[in-house]
Amino acid sequence: MKTFKTLFLILSWSFLTIFSAYCQDLSQFVPIAHYTLINTSADSLGNYDTIQLKNAPYQGLDGVYSNGKYPGTDTSGSTIRTPNIDGFDYSKFAFSLEFKRDIGFKDKPVIIAGALWRYLGARIAPHDSLMQLIYNGKNTNPIASPSVEPNKWYKLTIIYQDSTGYLYLDEDFIVSIQFVIKSLEKDKVFTNSHGGYGRSFKGNWRNLIIYKAGTSATGELDDLSGIDIFPNPNTGIFTIKSKKNNSGSYSIRLIDL
């Protein structure tokens, strides 16, 4: 019986380890930069300089638009590029982005980490609408995701930890690749273009968030009387502020009627 219990515990632990790896879990990460891209180029957390936007006009609640032209060969091409986000360690970090691809999107990156070496990112595979993980230059995973349709919003999340890159789409696990990041120091920018391919994203970006390893305080706000929402009414852009001394990070869900 003791042997059986021991085996059961080992199997249970193994299952939980595997399960946690293949479920999007950002509880071990802390956001260090957040570019909403909704009528502003500022980092809403106030940690970094503004994001570079060239030929990437604001689209209201649809963020900014990248026209799919590579700026390295076309002066009318769109550039979306963060400053150097030096607050994370290459051994464990994450980033997420909401995106909507345009029609005519073929073999283009969605987002790239690293402008010089391009050590991590995602793209739409050539001649179809499947998503792939990019790592260490031009390498891509051989397994692709379900189709990413045009004119539809998706949330992309990429986590790198334990020498493995994990790709999630709308919080669903897509693929993982084990590799060691090869990067030049201080190359911690995030961009819409892949210099190795000479291609740029075509579509909309919003809510780019970069995370470092770490944990944040958790808890629950007492009640809605402890919350200020302003301006009220609003057009979809507003601020939520705690009236009380509630430190830490909180998850807030917005639900329509």
Name which of 247, 243, 246, 157 is nearest 207 in CA terms.
157
Element (H, E) at 44: none
CA distance linking residue 95 with residue 32, whole number of Å: 10
Specify the pTM.
Answer: 0.77
β-strand pairing of 227-230 with 79-81: unpaired
CA distance linking residue 125 with residue 37, whole number of Å: 26
CA distance linking residue 86 with residue 25, whole number of Å: 22
| 93-105 confidence digits (pLDDT tens) | 999 999 999 987 7
Q: How confident is the model at residue 164 (pLDDT cuts 50, 70, 90)?
A: very high
CA distance linking residue 188 with residue 167, whole number of Å: 19
| 203-253 confidence digits (pLDDT tens) | 999 999 999 999 754 444 444 556 777 666 666 677 777 666 655 556 666
Give every strand in the sheet of 190-191, ordered side by side.
52-54, 79-81, 190-191, 109-113, 120-124, 131-135, 139-140
Q: How confident is the model at residue 7 (pLDDT cuts 50, 70, 90)?
A: very low
Domains in the chain (CATH in brackets) are 26-213 (2.60.120.200)
Q: Hey, which residues does 200 pair with through a beta bridge?
A: 193
* Chain centre distance of CA 254: 20
CB 226 within 8 Å of CB 244: yes
Q: How confident is the model at residue 90 (pLDDT cuts 50, 70, 90)?
A: very high
